[in-house]
A and B are shown apart, each in its own frame.
Chain A
Amino acid sequence: MDDLSFEARPGEVFAILGPNGAGKTSTVETLEGYRVPTGGRVRVLGLDPRADHAALVARIGVMLQGGGLYPSLTPRQALWLFAHLYPDPLDPAALLRRLGLKAVARTPVRRLSGGERQRLSLALALVGRPEVLFLDEPTAGVDPEGRLVVRSLVAEERDRGCCVVLTTHELAEAEHLADRVLILVDGKAAAEGSLEELRGTVAQAAIAFAAPPGLPRADLDQLAGACGVPGGTVREVEPGRYEVGAEPTPARLAAVAAWLAERDLPVADLAAARRASLEAVYYEVAGRGRPSADLEEPAGDQPLGTPGNGPARGRRRAASGGRRR
């Protein structure tokens, strides 16, 4: 992890999103006190995860990647044990019901399905009524039905004021679960903000349309001229998909339509994209973190966070005091 700074607040779901190996687990395990940072300052509920470990563990709930369940224990036994470790636990039986584990309460973990194990891990994280919940890939290996259970529980915990910090490499999960997202690439924060803010950062650039693949550069530059933007701002983002990197004003839309008409092309998938999907944000910033991808980027491309379009970068600065919570 390098130069990473963020803050997660009570009553919000904070998702750490990134490809495998980006440092999501390292980040969460540093917050949980498993790893010692080589530098910087980490605080959870105002406590140092290492020095104040004993005080902290009573107030957090943890779901490890890979579970940490013992195969011959049953959900009932595991939950019974964990309930006895916390001062004011939830009722284990009620929790098993809530997570749909009642039918397998007496089945050893080794015979549970992947989804059942994940839900048991979640139950163990919840039983102590945590103020901060750390969930490392909570929906990995969970079937669609189980995902709904996990999502609704995460939302319930948030609504009762819990701060939920979760990692995922699945965009859809982050989009469903998170209030705010930190996109992590190669141990660095590529972007951070609410879903709205993040979408805003990418949505600035978009009139999208479909046309035959491989149109010549000169044609695209001509369209850029018609739209009043520099050459290179119009580009083929993927074969057959084009984008005008500018605010989608009516005049520019008209220019695009005229340009298509000149070439006798149909209007196909023409869209004024004000809101990008998290996926678009993700590929935008994730690509930027890899040097090889930088080389492929056209010269006129606007880096995320340049003045005027940067809620993402702006938020990072706001939280850059080096304080995590």
Chain B
Amino acid sequence: MRTRRFLAQLGVELTLTARRGESLVLTILIPVVLLAFLAEVHLLPTGPGKPVSFLAPGILALAVMSTAFTNLAIATGFERGYGFLKRLGATPLGRPALLAAKLAAVLAIEVVQVLVLVAVALGLGWSPVGGEAPAALGVVLLATAGFGGLGLLFAGTLRPEVNLAAANGVWLVLLLVSGMLAPLRRFPGWLAGIARVLPSAALADGLHRTLSLGRSVPTWAWVVLAVWALAAPLAAAATFRWE
């Protein structure tokens, strides 16, 4: 029965995402276009080697952030604004199953994103290294928890319209101050310092090192991601208002 409720909610989550044009733009179209465009038109200093070998992990990081943070925040914010979450609160669904369904939907979208983006990146000449893939998976899961917590923090406290603007604005800031599009060492020191405590930079750096260079994830990235993965969901749980 519990599984049935969870699956029904997951079905609705995925249906709503698939039907929301802006979700598809945010989670699939923007990452694919950025990857293809920046890999072919050498606008940004991507460091030595092929641009795609820097950009592919960075755009994967962007895709994870778009889904777990911005898309989750906007969708949940509107569900809250329309009273849909409140209404679900009076059904046997329950909060754990609702959260589990949202998390499962985020992970499902991430799987699709990874498949699409890896295919595009391979087409653009990316040659990933497989040895550290489990570490990359760990980094993605931690980042998903952190971004998801942040998204729910926004969705559960801000008015839907404010939340919409904030989730997009913060997405842009996290994208720029992250090392997703250009290496952190090209940043001025103060900005790189800020970037190093953000989950976006830790995720991008972790994926770049593991997937393109076959190296391990630096300790600072693990620590930053773990702290966000713990703190953001806790903050969301403590402040979330259902209506």
Q: How far is the CA of A69 from the CA of B79 in the complex (A)?
A: 9
Who on chain A is nearest to B5 by CB? A85
A33 contact set on B, CB distance < 8 A: 90
Contact B82 A71 (CB under 8 A): yes
Is the interface on chain A under 10, 10 to 19, 20 to 34, or 35 or more residues? Answer: 20 to 34
A67 pairs with B83, CB closer than 8 A: yes
Picked from A57, A66, A73, the residue with its CB within 8 Å of the CB of B90 is A57
Contact residues in A for B82 (Cβ distance below 8 Å): 67-71
Contact mask for chain A residues 77-121; partner B; CB cutoff 8 A; 1 contact, 0 none: 100111011110000000000000000000000000000000000
Q: How many A-B residue pairs have CB under 8 A?
A: 69
Q: What residue of chain B has the Cβ atom nearest to residue A85's Cβ? A: B91
- C-alpha spacing A72/B16, complex, angstroms: 7
**Can you name the residue of chain A whose Cβ is closest to the Cβ of B8?**
A84
Q: How far, in whole Å, are A128 and B5 apart by their CA atoms in the complex?
A: 13
CB pair B12–A73 under 8 Å, yes or no, is yes
Whether B83 contacts A66 by the Cβ 8 Å rule is: yes
Could you tell me the distance between the alpha carbons of A77 and B83 in the complex, rounded to whole angstroms?
17
Known contacts A68-B82, A69-B84: does B92 contact A77 (CB below 8 Å)?
no
Cβ contacts under 8 Å, B5 to chain A: 84-85
A208: interface (CB < 8 Å): no
Distance between Cα atoms of A70 and B80 in the complex (Å): 9
| Cα–Cα, bound, A52→B199 (Å) | 39
* 0/1 string, B64-98, CB within 8 A of A gives 1: 00000000000000110011101111111110000
Q: How far is the CA of A71 from the CA of B94 in the complex (A)?
A: 22
Separation of A62 and B91 alpha carbons in the complex (Å): 8
A81 touches B8 (CB 8 A): yes
Chain B CB within 8 A of A124 CB: yes
Q: A69-B84, A71-B82 are in contact. Are A82 and B91 (CB under 8 A)?
A: yes
Complex Cα–Cα for A86 and B15 (A): 20
Which chain B residues lie closer than 8 Å to A71 at the CB level? 82
Total number of B residues with any Cβ neighbor in A under 8 Å: 27
Q: How far is the CA of A33 from the CA of B95 in the complex (A)?
A: 14
Q: Which 7 A-B pairs have the closest CB atoms?
A: A68-B87, A84-B8, A68-B83, A62-B90, A70-B84, A58-B92, A85-B91
Give chain A interface residues in 44-81, CB to chain B under 8 Å. Answer: 54, 57-58, 60, 62, 64, 66-73, 77, 80-81
Q: Which of B8, B20, B83, B92 contacts A64 (CB 8 A)?
A: B83
- Taking CB atoms and an 8 Å cut-off, the chain B residues in 191-243 that contact chain A are 243
Some 26 contacts from A to B, beta carbons below 8 A apart, are A33-B90, A34-B86, A34-B243, A54-B92, A64-B86, A64-B90, A66-B83, A67-B82, A68-B82, A68-B84, A68-B86, A68-B87, A69-B84, A70-B79, A70-B82, A70-B84, A72-B16, A80-B8, A81-B11, A85-B5, A85-B9, A85-B93, A86-B91, A86-B92, A87-B92, A128-B91
Chain A nearest CB: distance from B8 CB in Å?
Answer: 3
B87, A64: Cβ atoms closer than 8 Å: yes
Q: Which residues of B contact A (CB under 8 A)?
A: 1, 4-5, 7-9, 11-12, 15-16, 19-20, 78-79, 82-84, 86-94, 243
CB distance from A136 to the nearest CB of B (A): 11
Q: Which of B7, B20, B78, B91 interacts with A57 by CB under 8 Å?
A: B91
A70 to B19 Cα, complex, angstroms: 13
Q: Indicate if the CB atoms of A85 and B8 lie closer than 8 Å.
A: yes
In the complex, what's the smallest C-beta–C-beta distance from B131 to chain A, in angstroms?
43
Chain B contacts for A66, CB-based, 8 A: 83
Residues of A within 8 A of B (CB): 32-34, 54, 57-58, 60, 62, 64, 66-73, 77, 80-82, 84-87, 124, 128
Tell me the minimal C-beta distance from B92 to chain A in angstroms. 5
Query: In whole Å, how far is A33's beta carbon from the nearest beta carbon of chain B?
Result: 8
State A64–B86 Cα separation when bound (angstroms).
9
B143, chain A: closest CB distance, angstroms:
28
Distance in angstroms between the alpha carbons of A57 and B88 in the assembled complex: 10
Can you add 19 more A-B contacts, CB < 8 Å, to A34-B90, A69-B87, A70-B84? Answer: A32-B90, A34-B86, A57-B90, A57-B91, A57-B92, A60-B90, A62-B90, A64-B83, A64-B86, A64-B87, A68-B82, A68-B86, A69-B82, A73-B16, A84-B5, A84-B7, A84-B8, A85-B93, A128-B91
Give Cα distance in the complex from A64 to B88, angstroms: 11
* Cβ contacts under 8 Å, A72 to chain B: 16, 19-20
Residue of B8, B92, B93, B243 with most partner-chain A CB within 10 A = B92
